[in-house]
């Protein structure tokens, strides 16, 4: 098969491959970008594989960085873009079912494709757009099937994260799992215990926000892969409820918020739960705000001040979460009310602490309280948001 009219992201990288070929080396696009071009998905970056050794790659390009030279990867800077170029390799020395510590460079593309996880990820494309397909990956793409390259047990023993990748691709691509691949996951799910929580989290999130997340979650549960995910309390409750959701979350913050709401994790425990999954503080903060506002929405119609405090981002994200959970919420009315607020963030207030001091208010806790009071009155429309009106209010 040959692909004509390659997307810009490939054309932009073409001179990099041609440079390798001019140096008498082989060069191919490999991995996810080849799969995605065939599926018509958006491609953000391309991976390049070559017969050149890392040192030889470096000699061919003016600007390069040793990103993972031990594993054969050099990042080349070309025309303002960076490209990862990896020497054809086989992997050996798998330790503890995690990524290999040792790789052996080979001169042959076939060997390199053979070590890859799934047939749909083991496709390569040359500079003419011709596809190299040694394991019927094209057929599997056509039948929307995720199948391990060769023996699935071997692939999962090499890197147990691949079991999570399988269900993640199911969700993202709306594919099914090949029978033997699914069986091998069911037989080897405990290997996942060896994998770091960060790597599992990344796949878990991609699975959770994919368009086929419900079906993927079901397989995640059926194969018992879910049992070996660390620090995931109450997952059976979650997974029994997840398939009933109206639609899948598309945002990571929505996913975590939904999980926390479904698992009824208390406010003071949210931080621990998010940290156990090694989520960032920023993500934890966003999720805490969404969950708090969701609770508030379940309890009463928010006041203007509560809408102001919540802010637009959290408001929209919480509406998303409420819809997914099937909670009735008049989102249009809430958004309209938010948009009609006299000020939408504190910076829009006509005065600040300095103005208050200049108008005779003493610095101290009372100043903060007064500023807050002014803000509330401006938001409720009782006080005009001008220096004059606020100045008069202070003097009164
Ligand atoms: N555990 C892994 C991870 C990756 N790969 C191979 O390395 C390629 C690139 O991996 P990565 O960038 O992690 O994933 P993609 O398949 O490109 O998918 P995406 O970019 O959507 O994450 C994969 O296509 C696959 O051939 C593998 O065999 N085993």
pLDDT at residue number 227: 86
Is pLDDT above 80 for 209?
A: yes
Residue of the nearest CA to atom 19 in ligand 1?
32
Element (H, E) at 48: strand 47-50
Taken in order of first residue, the domains within the chain and their CATH numbers are 1-136 (3.30.460.10), 144-244 (1.10.110.30), 246-340 (1.20.58.560), 346-395 (1.10.246.80)
Q: What are all long-range contacts of 96-105, with beta carbons under 8 Å and residues at least 24 apart?
A: 96/194, 97/156, 97/157, 97/158, 97/159, 97/160, 97/191, 97/194, 97/195, 98/159, 98/160, 98/161, 98/194, 98/195, 99/159, 99/161, 100/158, 100/159, 103/70, 103/71, 103/72, 105/53, 105/72
Please tell me the distance from the alpha carbon of residue 253 to that of residue 288, in angstroms, as a whole number.
10
Is pLDDT above 70 for 275?
A: yes
pLDDT at residue number 103: 77
CA distances from 101 to 70, 89, 121, 358 (A): 9, 13, 21, 65
Mean pLDDT of the chain: 92
Phi, psi of 328 (to 5 degrees): -65, 130
- Full-model pTM: 0.87
**Residue 377 CB partners (closer than 8 Å, separation 6+):** 383, 393
pLDDT in tens, 90-112: 876 555 555 556 678 888 999 99
Asked whether 109 and 130 are in contact (CB, 8 A), the reply is no
Asked whether 21 and 27 are in contact (CB, 8 A), the reply is yes
Pocket test for ligand 1, best of 28, 32, 194 (most atoms within 8 A of CB): 32
Q: Tokens in use for 189? A: 């799910």
Give the sign of the dihedral formed by CA 329, CA 235, CA 224, CA 151. Answer: positive
Q: State the distance from the centre of ligand 1 to the C-alpha of 343, rounded, in angstroms.
A: 47
112 in contact with ligand 1, CB cutoff 6 A: no
Q: How confident is the model at residue 240 (pLDDT cuts 50, 70, 90)?
A: confident
Question: Coil, strand or helix: which one is 384?
Answer: coil
Burial annotation 268-283 (CB, 10 A radius, 16+ → b, else e): eebbebbeebebeeee
Residue in this structure with the two tokens 């990748």, named with its chain if needed: 165
Give the sign of the dihedral formed by CA 198, CA 204, CA 208, CA 212. Answer: positive
Which atom, in ligand 1's list, is nearest to the CA of 44? 20
pLDDT in tens, 242-269: 878 888 898 999 999 999 998 889 999 9
Pocket test for ligand 1, best of 31, 38, 165, 191 (most atoms within 8 A of CB): 31
pLDDT at residue number 69: 79
117 in contact with ligand 1, CB cutoff 6 A: yes
Question: Coil, strand or helix: which one is 317?
Answer: helix
Please tell me the distance from the alpha carbon of residue 249 to that of residue 266, in angstroms, as a whole number.
21
Pocket test for ligand 1, best of 48, 86, 121 (most atoms within 8 A of CB): 121
* Mean pLDDT within 148-175: 96
Q: Label residue 110 exposed, middle or buried (CB < 10 Å: 0-12, 13-18, 19+).
A: exposed
Which atom, in ligand 1's list, is nearest to the CA of 32? 17
Q: Tokens in use for 212? A: 């086929």
Please tell me the distance from the alpha carbon of residue 213 to that of residue 206, in angstroms, as a whole number.
9
In sequence order, the β-bridge partners of residue 30 are: 47, 124
Is pLDDT above 90 for 230?
A: no
Phi, psi of 330 (to 5 degrees): -85, 80
């Amino acid at each position: 098969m040959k692909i004509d009219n390659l997307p810009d992201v490939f054309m932009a990288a073409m001179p990099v491959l041609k440079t390798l070929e001019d140096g008498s080396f082989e060069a191919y696009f490999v991995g996810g970008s080849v799969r995605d071009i065939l599926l018509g998905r958006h491609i953000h970056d391309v991976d390049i594989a070559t017969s050149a050794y890392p040192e030889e790659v470096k000699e061919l390009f003016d600007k390069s960085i040793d990103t993972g030279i031990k594993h054969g990867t050099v990042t080349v800077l070309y025309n303002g873009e960076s490209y990862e170029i990896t020497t054809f390799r086989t992997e050996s020395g798998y330790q503890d079912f995690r990524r290999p510590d040792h790789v052996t460079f080979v001169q042959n593309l076939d060997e390199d494709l053979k070590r890859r996880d799934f047939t749909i990820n083991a496709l390569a494309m040359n500079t003419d757009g011709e596809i190299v397909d040694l394991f019927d990956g094209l057929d599997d793409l056509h039948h929307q099937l995720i199948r391990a390259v060769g023996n699935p047990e071997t692939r999962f023993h090499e890197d147990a994260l691949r079991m999570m990748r399988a269900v993640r691709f199911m969700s993202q691509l709306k594919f099914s799992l090949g029978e033997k691949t699914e069986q091998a996951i069911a037989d080897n799910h405990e290997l996942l215990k060896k994998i770091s929580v960060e790597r599992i989290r990344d796949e878990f999130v991609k699975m959770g926000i994919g368009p086929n997340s419900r079906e993927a979650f079901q397989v995640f549960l059926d194969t018992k892969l879910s049992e070996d995910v660390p620090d995931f309390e109450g997952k059976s409750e979650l997974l029994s409820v997840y398939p009933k959701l109206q639609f899948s979350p598309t945002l990571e913050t929505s996913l975590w918020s939904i999980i926390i709401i479904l698992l009824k994790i208390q406010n003071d425990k949210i931080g621990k739960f998010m940290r156990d999954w090694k989520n960032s503080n920023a993500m934890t903060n966003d999720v805490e705000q969404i969950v708090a506002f969701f609770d508030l929405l379940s309890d009463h119609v928010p006041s203007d001040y509560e809408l102001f405090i919540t802010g637009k981002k959290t408001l929209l994200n919480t509406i998303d979460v409420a819809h997914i959970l099937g909670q009735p919420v008049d989102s249009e009315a809430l958004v309209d009310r938010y948009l009609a607020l006299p000020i939408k963030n504190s910076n829009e207030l006509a005065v600040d602490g300095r103005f208050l001091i200049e108008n005779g208010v003493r610095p101290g806790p009372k100043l903060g309280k007064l500023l807050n009071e002014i803000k509330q009155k401006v938001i409720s429309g009782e006080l005009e948001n001008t220096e004059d009106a606020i100045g008069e209010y202070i003097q009164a």
